[in-house]
Structure 1
């Protein structure tokens, strides 16, 4: 942030120096609100606002799509681990499947609320690590099918852990604060530019100005509202895990 402020201060200094140097050369004064200086400044400010606004919308949108896709990847890995566990010996299969169902209930319930604050529950990590240790410790004897089933379950547990780490990173991801600040500030300056240039809108001329101001305010609010993956208008919901919970119940019932 300090670097951004320093860059802005340098730009102001360049403008002041340039204005003093230009005074010594022949030219035409430009005091009019609709003069070339205001027109050039307005165009550049509008372009800057559109650039910042586009980045502030596209980046969260892309991140949200990626995070939503990752939730389905994680849920699919859980389903595959659940199916693979059914090939273990009955007591072991029941233990693993019960742990997977508990993990799904945790994720789509208490943990999803924590992700709105950019965090994942410690219990989720603990339960997943404990389940992996339990599977590693399973006694398979000389039964090749059970050995293969245990290896497959461990493989899918690794996929679940990887998807969970990605979900943790998605929960902490947001656009740079400076980008949102620039979007809001340029929007405000674009609205106030006619007044800063010396214009005094009256009557019906205030209508389009007010309309533009309201739309810019709505756009600026949108960039803040969608800046987090698991909150706001583009929030990723626990749909993948809610559907998975129903599927696991169906599988457990032999459906």
Structure 2
């Protein structure tokens, strides 16, 4: 129960990765605040977190709306006695609207940059007064290996996730004096229950040296480490969780 007495706020908390992170925090004794746009999923997750014997607070919010984000973060802090840990898991690519940059509709670019980069900055800005007041905090921002290596039809997503890494470094420089650690995590291809490949074995072989696809739990494990006292001297870093994918081509392929 290494997070007993702490409160973790997770944006995108009802999504696949965010949910895994939120439940791990609850299992480790933390009270959990959820920010997500999906009202039904937020309600169900709050009930599930409470069933684990900790406090939970859920807010339905679009992270692109700063005034709403600020109100929800303040409400969560009031309900749960403050905020100690912030995890930014809200985000996503354009998926079915993805295209080469020369052809993509600029509204798609706006959507992707807003939800990933602007949303992350909004949540951090809203939460900072609560962390600074305690002279303690852990901020973990979910980026992507696409921000490092790039990918066709993902210019908007790569730019937004790259911006998260850059912001992480600058925030670490600013916030060290407040005893606040700021780090980023860049997962590779993460398995989604609604998007299983036709041939999972072949897919895993192409996307990882570990012969499996990254899971939400893999990301949650790394978040728990960075949020814990074991990572007290680590800040301003981007940690890659991709099973070796970013190392390049396999020697046996």
Same fold at TM > 0.5: no
TM-score by length of structure 1 reads 0.23
Could you say which structure has the higher helix fraction? 1
Task: With a CA cutoff of 8 Å and minimum separation of 6, indicate the structure with the bigger relative contact order.
Answer: 1
The TM-score normalised by the length of structure 2 is 0.23
Compare the two structures and name the one with the higher strand fraction: 2
Answer with 1 or 2: which has the greater Rg: 1
